[in-house]
């Protein structure tokens, strides 16, 4: 292993927030091998001038901790800062699919029926959701120079359904563990879109309306959300929804039925997610600004609940997706295909308190 790879490994070790959930998931994929693929560009390349963004982007997910790639060089070239490096990305999941069988739409409708029969876990006036997320982030949106970063985080959310007040505990390598509280009226990760009106949180019962769900899942075009690899898909919208609300059986079922009618959705196969749970995977391929991507959700076959969401960048055709919106931004630099974003939903239930 080269000195660069060893230094990169020491920086990035442990940044995968789901790495300790199931060691078998990494069978055939050695972490050292993954990290040693971080190849720094030449130090002789000039560093782009840092320019503050003129406009703020609506981003899905928070920019949290990061890690810089390491390079080697002589004393003579140490006058120059390192150029952007290739980012380490998470190993892909394995999917098993038998030939033939039901279509994606048929499977999703079957899972919807299962979800409708599966009660919500727990009881009480508070929703509780525990998630882990790993995201490739663009450093131009944070004071980290020109490096690509890996942004892991773990989040515990409590919300009171009666008034939308929230308590959030978040843990990340850069900022550590911290808690925030928001008073009544806080948006809880899901919105009612109305043309010309600022988005507002929806009462849970309204989410039974399939037309409203098409808005919430970005299908109707009423709303749009982007992250550093481009526009969010309806599958990413579902992850956003499930990460902010404990979905009751009827809503879980309605979401799956709306997705069943979505053109282009495909059954990817059975997979073990990054928490070691087995689920049914469904994917959608589309162009997300940076290039073609594949968004994937994994659904629990026993309850119809969402277990996780992943984005794979299939090809990087536009490393500057935001153009003039972020002058001087460092380009994305990642070897494709690459998993650039995933969310694992670990716990979701109703509770009597926000503890």
**Distance (Å, whole) CA 76 – CA 90:** 35
Tokens 């073609």 belong to residue:
292
84-88, 234-238, 284-288: range with lowest mean pLDDT: 84-88
pLDDT of residue 184: 77
Averaged pLDDT, 36-64: 34
Averaged pLDDT, 16-37: 45
Tokens 């990817």 belong to residue:
268
Structure tokens that stand for 278 in this block: 């087995």
Would the pLDDT of 76 be above 60? Answer: no
Sorted by sequence, the CB contacts under 8 Å of residue 74 that are 6+ apart come out as none
Structure tokens that stand for 179 in this block: 């808690």
Structure tokens that stand for 66 in this block: 């990061």
* Residues constituting the chain: 355
Would the pLDDT of 49 be above 50? Answer: no
Higher-pLDDT residue of 37 and 156 is 156
Would the pLDDT of 133 be above 80? Answer: yes
pLDDT of residue 289: 86
Would the pLDDT of 95 be above 80? Answer: yes
pLDDT band at 144 (very low <50, low <70, confident <90, very high): very low
Crossing angle of helices 104-117 and 249-260, in 10° steps, is 170
pLDDT of residue 89: 83
Averaged pLDDT, 312-325: 81
pTM over 0.85: no
Higher-pLDDT residue of 190 and 61 is 190
Would the pLDDT of 349 be above 80? Answer: yes
Higher-pLDDT residue of 132 and 203 is 132
* CA 160 vs CA 87, 126, 239, 279: distances in Å: 39, 5, 20, 29
Averaged pLDDT, 93-97: 91
Averaged pLDDT, 27-55: 35
Would the pLDDT of 7 be above 70? Answer: no
Tokens 């769900």 belong to residue:
213
- Among positive and negative, which fits the CA dihedral 245, 249, 253, 254? negative
């Amino acid at each position: 292993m080269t000195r660069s790879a060893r230094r990169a490994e020491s920086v990035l070790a442990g940044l995968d927030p789901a790495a300790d959930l199931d060691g078998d998931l990494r069978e055939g994929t050695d972490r050292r091998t993954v990290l040693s693929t971080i190849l720094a560009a030449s130090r002789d390349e000039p560093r782009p001038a840092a320019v503050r963004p003129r406009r703020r982007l609506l981003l899905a997910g928070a920019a949290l901790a990061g890690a810089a790639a390491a390079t080697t060089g002589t004393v003579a070239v140490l006058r120059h800062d390192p150029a952007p490096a290739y980012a380490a990305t998470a190993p892909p999941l394995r999917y098993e699919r038998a030939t033939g069988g039901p279509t994606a739409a048929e499977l999703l409708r079957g899972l919807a029926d299962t979800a409708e029969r599966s009660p919500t876990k727990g009881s009480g006036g508070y929703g509780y959701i525990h998630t882990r997320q790993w995201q490739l982030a663009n450093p131009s949106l944070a004071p980290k120079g020109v490096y690509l970063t890996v942004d892991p985080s773990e989040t515990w959310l409590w919300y009171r359904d009666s008034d939308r007040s929230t308590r959030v505990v978040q843990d990340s390598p850069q900022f550590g563990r911290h808690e925030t509280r928001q008073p009544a009226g806080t948006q809880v990760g899901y919105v009612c879109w109305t043309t010309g009106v600022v988005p507002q949180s929806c009462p849970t019962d309204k989410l039974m309306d399939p037309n409203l769900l098409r808005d919430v899942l970005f299908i109707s075009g009423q709303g749009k959300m982007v992250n550093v690899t481009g526009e969010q898909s309806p599958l990413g919208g579902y992850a956003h929804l499930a990460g902010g609300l404990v979905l009751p059986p009827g809503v879980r079922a309605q979401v799956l039925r709306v997705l069943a009618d979505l053109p282009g959705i495909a059954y990817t196969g059975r997979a073990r997610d990054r928490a070691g749970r087995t689920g049914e995977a469904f994917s959608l391929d589309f162009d997300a600004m940076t290039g073609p991507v594949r968004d994937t959700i994994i659904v629990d076959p026993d309850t119809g609940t969402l277990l996780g969401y992943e984005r794979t960048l299939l090809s990087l055709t536009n490393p500057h997706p935001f153009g003039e919106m972020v002058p001087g931004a460092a380009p994305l630099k990642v070897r494709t295909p690459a998993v650039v974003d995933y969310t694992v939903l670990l716990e979701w239930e109703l509770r009597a308190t926000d503890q």
